[in-house]
Structure 1
Amino acid sequence: MNKQQLAAKIWESANQMRSKIEANEYKDYILGFIFYKYLSDKEEQDLYNRGYDADNIKEYVNEEADDSYSSMSSLKQDLGYFIAYKDLFSTWINMGSDFSVDNVRTGLSSFSRNISPSHKKLFEGVFTTLETGLSKLGADTKSQTKAVSDLIQLINEIPMNGKQDYDVLGFIYEYLISNFAANAGKKAGEFYTPHEVSLLMSEIIAEHLKGRDTIKIYDPTSGSGSLLINIGKTAAKYMDDANRIQYYAQELKSNTYNLTRMNLVMRGILPANILTRNGDTLEEDWPYFDESDPHSTYEPLYVDAVVSNPPYSQRWDSTGKDSDPRYVRYGIAPKSKADYAFLLHDLYHLKPDGIMTIVLPHGVLFRGGEEGNIRKNLIEQNNIDAIIGLPANIFFGTGIPTIVMVLRQKRENTDVLIIDASKGFIKEGKNNKLRACDIRKIVDTIKSRKDIEKYSKVVSLEDIRANDYNLNIPRYVDSSEAAESYDIYASMFGGIPETELGKFDKYWEVFPSLKGELFAGEEYLSLKSENIRETIKNNKDVLQFKKNHMLRFGDLGAYLDSILIANATTINIPKTQEIIANNIFMRFVDITLIDPYGAYEIFEDKFTEISGDLELIQTEGIKAVTQVDPNMVIKKKNGKDVEVQEGWKGHILPFDLVQEICLSERKRDLKEKQEKLAEIPSSYEEILESLSEDDKEIITEALNDTNDAFVFKNIKAVIKSLKADGESKELIESLEKAEKLNNEEKKLKTEIKQGEDELHLETKAKIESLSEEEVNNLLHEKWSSPIYNGILDLSDDMLKVFTKDVEALSTKYAVTMDDLEKEIKETEKSLASMLSELTGSERDMEGINELIKLLGGIDE
């Protein structure tokens, strides 16, 4: 299984296990056990590296062992903690039915005692939430033991002991947190920033930090730590040594603070590079010092980047903050809304050449009072670099629209880039989600710092002053859709206004001969062709455009193969991803009408799967491509869910793909039989519909109670009886036809089942015996072809939209007001004529005659 599949499996199982426990609470238990397994596996690996074997570990890895052979002190020195053999995660797993929840309680208590003094800040209290929550997993020891046992068996599937496994572990951890957040309602905001928003902020910061040898990054409201980790991971792409990044994290809630520490440690970050603090960011600024000697060890914290997603518009105690160095230059945020208090805290901790990104509610852009004064000071002191308006309903637990604000201590330019990215998203469940192309477009716009119609504007300081320091996005960027307007003359007399054809100017520029082929006239034009679709499709400039598009991307498949397949075992996956993305954008340099970000989305969407495959290949070797795995499914057995094998599946290559490419003839034969089988039910219906009610009365034993289906076990006897009674030849033939179809249906089902089983085993054998050339061809079909074909299809997609818009405009004025008036008069006359034919009482006829008059009377 790749990491996506494993994460999905663990989430599904964990979600079923949690039963009635709230998602926000249950996450602390499962993530706590994952962290314990990580530390336990790490210690075991360290022991094996020292030459210990399983017997040595069992005998000597305990708190009572003779110091001369004890590993306790050296492990505490190297790892910062010690776990005795009896408390190792693997020991719990191997205990089987002897395992009890009390083993966990003992292990967690022992861990707390055996933390090295040098690692107290990192590990102390990290399992408190898990320890206190064990009792909630069941009503008694037996039920708690069952719940914990199921959970640790599930977690045991996660690999945790190598560089590659850190990525898998990190992915699964993030995946679980994301899914718990989606189920945690309003509490989700306490611990999670959606991954896509996190990536957006990461890319903005990493671009600014390019070229630095060492980096310090800080999140003062760290939550689960995922936002901070994504910043580091993205920045590391541009560094030679990722161990030269220091992570500073502060979090108020202790259980969420534990998530931060776990997350950072499990990513393989050196303990010396993790500096965390459980405290109130606004009340307790980061006075980094050694408690034993606070005066001489005090070190103010200044970092290269600050990133935060603080709680929105929460109350805070601003008493006595007038002299706080974080706020003296700008002002004090109102007690009812701490948004600017968090922002100024972040800004204060930036180095002069640093950068920060912060998520805030829209209100900070235009609210007055103390906030208006702070905003004015930030603008005048030239700290605000960019403002990005995000889509509404993008954060779990709140639907309010938010922004990302980018600030710096020192800038050369004095303008502010304002981006309205509120329209770029995809709907996913109840929430909106930024796509890869939306993130890329925002980051590219910040890099290029350019005006884009209905999307972005570089706003001068003078304009902001003229607007009284109001930064509300719609004041500067109008992203609203243009309202539909109607030309009065065209509405009355027909014709297509030349002014409205102007909205297609970018198309006429690329297809210069097309407008003349479609329309005739000057100010108000008429259609030359009834078939707009065919005219556009066959236009010489359109055909040339499609040809140019094909030529530009014709070698994309081969290019992807040369990078991805030829070097699958060695390539740097993130860097390769960026190289290919840049290549795709480069191919669009002088191509208009097609959005390059659409092509980028096709690539990114597919690359998620490709990267998972590459990780497997780089971990297991190219042999992973020719491997098949048991296909395990959950089935009910004696009222319990049991995992059983149901055939096989490709480790990397899907069976369907291999059948399509390598076993196409067998696949086609099977498909033909399946199609024949699918047609038989409709043939039964045709026979039944041909029977009269009298016929159905005669053959009641051959039909079900509702007379809408045959009872085939009785048909033969009914036919025999009909023949003996000399009944209708047509009726007998109908039943014989149904019987024949039923025999064919049985035969087809048998052949299909046998064929599917044989094809399944042939596919397994084929995958396991693939040649190098076949492997390359199949990887091409799985990886490269979807990207290549998807990007080639973009020209057709664009032309479909263009054609639809032209057709809509052509019909807009097809019916004039004069036409409508004539149609109304004809309808009135027709109605009056019908009314005149009615009869009724004297009063009825008086009323009808009056209505006829109102309709204009009847022509003589």
Structure 2
Amino acid sequence: MNKQQLANKIWAAANKMRSKIDAIEYKDYILGLIFYKFLSDNEVNYLLKAGWREEDLVNLVEDYDDENAKLIIDYCKNNIGYFIAYDHLFSTWIKPDSDFNIGDLSVSLNSFDRLVSPNYKPVYDGIFKTLQAGLSKLGDSTASQTRAIKELIKLIKDIPTDGSQDYDVLGYVYEYLIGNFAASAGKKAGEFYTPHEVAILMSELVAENQRNKPQIEIYDPTSGSGSLLITIGKSVGRHIADKNKVKYYAQEQIENTYNLTRMNLVMRGIQPSNIYTRCADSLDEDWPLQQVGSEMNKPLYVDAVVSNPPYSQHWDPTDREMDARFKNYGVAPKSKADYAFLLHELHHLKPDGILTIVLPHGVLFRGGEEEQIRTNLIEKNNIDSIIGLPANIFFGTGIPTLIMVLKQHRENDDVLVIDASKCFVKDGKQNKLRACDIKKIADTVRDRATVKGFSRTVSRDEIRENGYNLNIPRYVDGNEETEHYDIYATVFGGIPNAEIDSLQCYWEAFPSLRADLFAPEADKPYSLLRTEEVRQTIENNVDVQSFNQQFANAFDGFTDAMHQRLIDNTMTVHELTALDEIATDIFKRVENIALVDKYAAYQALADNWQTIVNDIETLQQDGLNAAREVETAYKMVKKGEEEIEVPDGVKGRIIPFEFVQQAKFQAELTAIANMQQRIEVITSELDDLHDSFTEEETESYCESEKDNAFDKAAIKANAKPKADVEPETKAKLEKIVALWNEQTKTNKEIRTAKQQLIDKTVEAIENLSDEEVATFLHEKWIEPVCNGIDDTLRSVLATLETSVVALNKKYAVSYKQINDEFASTNKELAGLIDQLTGDERAIEGLKELIKE
């Protein structure tokens, strides 16, 4: 199920509950039931993998008088941490013969709480409290509550909970519900969901810093949905052989959201023994603390802290001056807790750890207590990097935000400032970081690179000179140059050589191209465009052709290398490692090619990577035969007020039908295309006949109440041989009927041919050889990446063409030319007026007018 299909499910579920509860509370029911479904499915799948059969599941009973039942209970609790009886399984609730009611849900939730293993209590204890407490709101009676919950369960039953999706299901549901219903509820979503792309960026920064550690502990003191922790864990996990060597610490003040944190961590396959969570105010009570040993109840220091705390939140700073977290830096003002969160997190960081925190820009320049804290952070050399993000990237606020990277100990004493405010693509109402933006930012942080208009390392002395003001525009000018107009060129024409010089990077790459495009004016610093065929001139230039060949040579063997890495070794590919290796390969190939943006080339890989990864995961899980399978295709259709998913034929599980058809059944495709083209011709001929009708024929053979469409009954009746109709009209009617008959016959043939083609395609997919599978995977995985990389070269030349054309257009019509044309027109008009006769005063007035 992709995100759009899941969104449709959520929308339908929410609509079912719209009249029963506040919109902001939808998520508590939907998320709670999704998680219960996960736990239920997880137990069933665990037992089936252990050798149980479906029919054995009825033996899951809570009967302490039955020794076998007791053994089963202990077996489940010891291995998965809990036990759910057969009657309480989600899959049992939705059986056709089930008499499930609201009371069963309440009993099931209570039973779960009671049957959690003691070792797993910290993770599961009270996790369904919000769902349990809200059941009474679903209706005025048991019957109405049961109807409501049944509708919800029916909609949720198909939502995936097995962790195989390429996105965070619970986090996405949470974001979707907050985004669609918080505003309509007239409330703020007190919890902040970190967009996936921002979480990916933060995770890349952390992963790079922690890549050589055998195990890692990460902490989020404002964990929200838990998605930020999950994303960080996944990224650092690619550098650790055993993913179970990552420990997660999460604290969240709001109980509903705290429960969501725990649900999300468990659903992503993290071992409960690696999950440490707490429902409390991180600023009010310091945590995490050491649980054992001589350091018990002292601060726990972790490898990485990540957070997206609520912006500029009020807090109580009373008597905090001697708090170990704040005493060496200062206490944040009560109206803005931003630095309180930051200092709390810094306090829990190991000497070699890294802290990444999302903050509003105000922390960079506000005065008072915040200036004092900022000064101390600079003087103690804690601030490593500041990354300005695009505006409107978070739901619920359009304000620009930043990521601040801090460390306890650093070798360098400067601050890297990055202005990434223009690194985004529009995605509906929101702005969104692209994969190439994320990689560019992460690489810049890693290399501490200075890039004009994007990043700069700033010395502490310069920051001191600026009064410890860290506002990004003071150090990085990310604004585009203001366009200016040359006065001489505006008046007399010509293109200023200075503006042609602004394209110097192209003239350095293509030394002979400037002379091909521009002709200098004698004794003037201006030029004229030699040709109107700018694109052709660029393409024919010898240096451009050499550049194209250099690009081709750089990527010689790239497709074969990709094929070998991803297709020849499909069963052993590691997603994140392979992505790093291919990205490194791309960067190496383009490093000596001027003008080509390596990050644009990387985006071509990123755009196609998730498709590749999804297929690889399927093949690794189910074997190569998965590429020889077909499955039911689905589409969304409107039914009443909701959209439902309905079957829509079949499709290749991995290999698209169109690939196979184009390779094996071109004759059949051509035949179908020819028939479809004939249908278009028939439609056109029918339109022509309709237009040829006289007024009388229109009245007799068209239906006025249906926009004058053909009256089929009348036409067919009067087209018969014995019908008494004018010969010319009869000929038209006979032609129309003949076209209709051909149209019907051809459409039937098209349907038959399409079905026969589908049958042939299914058979062909099911009998693909290993070599054919590899060929089609190459077409699906490798070719789009290579085509995208080639597009970066075309983009370079297209940008140059656009710039040259724009320069020429800018000064194409000069003021002098306009003036001369006006004078010429005025003179011509005067001559015409001189020829006029009539009222003397009128003519005198016209002559005076043209003098103006």
Q: Same fold judged by TM-score > 0.5?
A: yes
Q: Deviations over 1:135-194 (max 9, x none)?
A: 33445333432343344345444566xxxx444497333332332243244645614110
Question: 2:790: which partner in 1?
Answer: 792
Give 3-state SS (helix, strand or coil) of 1:190's partner. Answer: coil
Query: Quick one: which amino acid aligns to residue 855 of structure 1?
Result: I
- Partners of 2:360 and 2:350 in 1: how far apart? 25
Question: 1:525: which partner in 2?
Answer: 527
Quickly say closer, same or farther: Cα 1:766–1:326, change in 2 above 3 A.
same
Question: 1:241: which partner in 2?
Answer: 242
Where do residues 785-824 of structure 1 align in structure 2 (5 Å cutoff)? 785-824=783-822
Q: CA deviation at 1:838?
A: 9.1
- Partners of 2:377 and 2:610 in 1: how far apart? 40
- Partners of 1:214 and 1:233 in 2: how far apart? 13
Quickly say closer, same or farther: Cα 1:465–1:289, change in 2 above 3 A.
closer
- Partners of 2:798 and 2:60 in 1: how far apart? 73
Query: Quick one: which amino acid aligns to residue 101 of structure 1?
Result: I
Query: Quick one: which amino acid aligns to residue 323 of structure 2?
Result: D
Give 3-state SS (helix, strand or coil) of 1:386's partner. Answer: strand
Give 3-state SS (helix, strand or coil) of 2:572's partner. Answer: coil
Contact 2:223/2:252 (8 A) holds in 1: yes
Give 3-state SS (helix, strand or coil) of 1:217's partner. Answer: strand
CA RMSD of aligned residues (A): 3.1
Contact 2:59/2:69 (8 A) holds in 1: no
Quickly say closer, same or farther: Cα 1:330–1:819, change in 2 above 3 A.
same
- Partners of 1:68 and 1:723 in 2: how far apart? 87
How many residues are matched?
842
Q: CA deviation at 1:46?
A: 5.2
Q: Deviations over 1:668-721 (max 9, x none)?
A: 221222123224333333344455xxx332563233328854434433555679
Question: 1:377: which partner in 2?
Answer: 376
Q: Deviations over 1:244-267 (max 9, x none)?
A: 111110000000000111111222
Question: 1:704: which partner in 2?
Answer: 703
Where do residues 473-552 of structure 1 align in structure 2 (5 Å cutoff)? 473-521=472-520, 523-552=525-554
Question: 2:655: which partner in 1?
Answer: 653
- Partners of 2:616 and 2:371 in 1: how far apart? 51
Question: 2:343: which partner in 1?
Answer: 344
- Partners of 1:557 and 1:169 in 2: how far apart? 25
Question: 1:115: which partner in 2?
Answer: 116
Q: CA deviation at 1:442?
A: 0.5
* Structure 1 stretch displaced more, 706-715 or 507-516: 706-715
* Structure 1 stretch displaced more, 231-240 or 820-829: 820-829
Give 3-state SS (helix, strand or coil) of 2:203's partner. Answer: helix
Question: 2:25: which partner in 1?
Answer: 25
Question: 1:261: which partner in 2?
Answer: 262
2:743 equivalent to 1:748: no
Where do residues 12-161 of structure 1 align in structure 2 (5 Å cutoff)? 14=13, 17-20=16-19, 24-45=24-45, 58-59=58-59, 61-66=61-66, 70-71=70-71, 72-73=73-74, 75-94=76-95, 96-157=97-158
Give 3-state SS (helix, strand or coil) of 1:183's partner. Answer: helix
Contact 1:189/1:397 (8 A) holds in 2: no
Q: CA deviation at 1:744?
A: 3.2
- Partners of 1:51 and 1:530 in 2: how far apart? 75
Question: 2:686: which partner in 1?
Answer: 684
Q: CA deviation at 1:828?
A: 4.4
Q: CA deviation at 1:604?
A: 0.9
Q: Deviations over 1:215-270 (max 9, x none)?
A: 11100000011101111110010011121111110000000000111111222222
- Partners of 1:852 and 1:371 in 2: how far apart? 74
Where do residues 518-667 of structure 1 align in structure 2 (5 Å cutoff)? 518-521=517-520, 523-632=525-634, 645-667=647-669
Where do residues 726-805 of structure 1 align in structure 2 (5 Å cutoff)? 735=733, 737-805=735-803
- Partners of 1:551 and 1:222 in 2: how far apart? 49
Question: 1:174: which partner in 2?
Answer: 171
Give 3-state SS (helix, strand or coil) of 1:419's partner. Answer: strand
Query: Quick one: which amino acid aligns to residue 745 of structure 1?
Result: Q
* Structure 1 stretch displaced more, 21-30 or 406-415: 21-30
Query: Quick one: which amino acid aligns to residue 540 of structure 1?
Result: V
* Structure 1 stretch displaced more, 632-641 or 179-188: 632-641
Query: Quick one: which amino acid aligns to residue 121 of structure 2?
Result: K
Contact 1:415/1:458 (8 A) holds in 2: yes
Q: CA deviation at 1:116?
A: 3.6
- Partners of 2:636 and 2:810 in 1: how far apart? 57
Contact 2:497/2:526 (8 A) holds in 1: yes
Query: Quick one: which amino acid aligns to residue 605 of structure 1?
Result: D
Query: Quick one: which amino acid aligns to residue 408 of structure 1?
Result: K
Q: CA deviation at 1:849?
A: 4.4
2:187 equivalent to 1:210: no
- Partners of 1:827 and 1:734 in 2: how far apart? 56
- Partners of 1:249 and 1:385 in 2: how far apart? 24
Q: CA deviation at 1:574?
A: 2.1
Q: Deviations over 1:466-522 (max 9, x none)?
A: 111111111111111211111112222222111101111111111111111111226
- Partners of 1:433 and 1:360 in 2: how far apart? 17
Query: Quick one: which amino acid aligns to residue 539 of structure 2?
Result: K
- Partners of 2:698 and 2:91 in 1: how far apart? 69
Quickly say closer, same or farther: Cα 1:835–1:123, change in 2 above 3 A.
farther
Give 3-state SS (helix, strand or coil) of 1:479's partner. Answer: coil
- Partners of 1:135 and 1:348 in 2: how far apart? 44
Give 3-state SS (helix, strand or coil) of 2:616's partner. Answer: helix
* Structure 1 stretch displaced more, 95-104 or 10-19: 10-19
Query: Quick one: which amino acid aligns to residue 390 of structure 1?
Result: L
Contact 1:321/1:327 (8 A) holds in 2: yes
- Partners of 1:613 and 1:235 in 2: how far apart? 23
Q: Deviations over 1:340-372 (max 9, x none)?
A: 111111111111111100000111111111111
* Structure 1 stretch displaced more, 207-216 or 112-121: 112-121
Unaligned runs of 5+ in 2: none
Contact 1:159/1:169 (8 A) holds in 2: no
- Partners of 2:293 and 2:576 in 1: how far apart? 42
Quickly say closer, same or farther: Cα 1:149–1:233, change in 2 above 3 A.
same
Query: Quick one: which amino acid aligns to residue 364 of structure 2?
Result: L
Query: Quick one: which amino acid aligns to residue 179 of structure 2?
Result: A
* Structure 1 stretch displaced more, 62-71 or 336-345: 62-71
Contact 2:82/2:115 (8 A) holds in 1: yes
Query: Quick one: which amino acid aligns to residue 387 of structure 2?
Result: I
Q: CA deviation at 1:34?
A: 2.4
Quickly say closer, same or farther: Cα 1:47–1:723, change in 2 above 3 A.
closer
Q: Deviations over 1:439-468 (max 9, x none)?
A: 011001111111111111111112111111
Where do residues 419-430 of structure 1 align in structure 2 (5 Å cutoff)? 419-430=418-429
Q: TM-score with structure 2 length normalisation? A: 0.92
Quickly say closer, same or farther: Cα 1:470–1:125, change in 2 above 3 A.
same
Contact 1:62/1:85 (8 A) holds in 2: no
* Structure 1 stretch displaced more, 623-632 or 88-97: 88-97
Quickly say closer, same or farther: Cα 1:669–1:44, change in 2 above 3 A.
closer
Contact 2:120/2:273 (8 A) holds in 1: no
Contact 2:192/2:308 (8 A) holds in 1: no
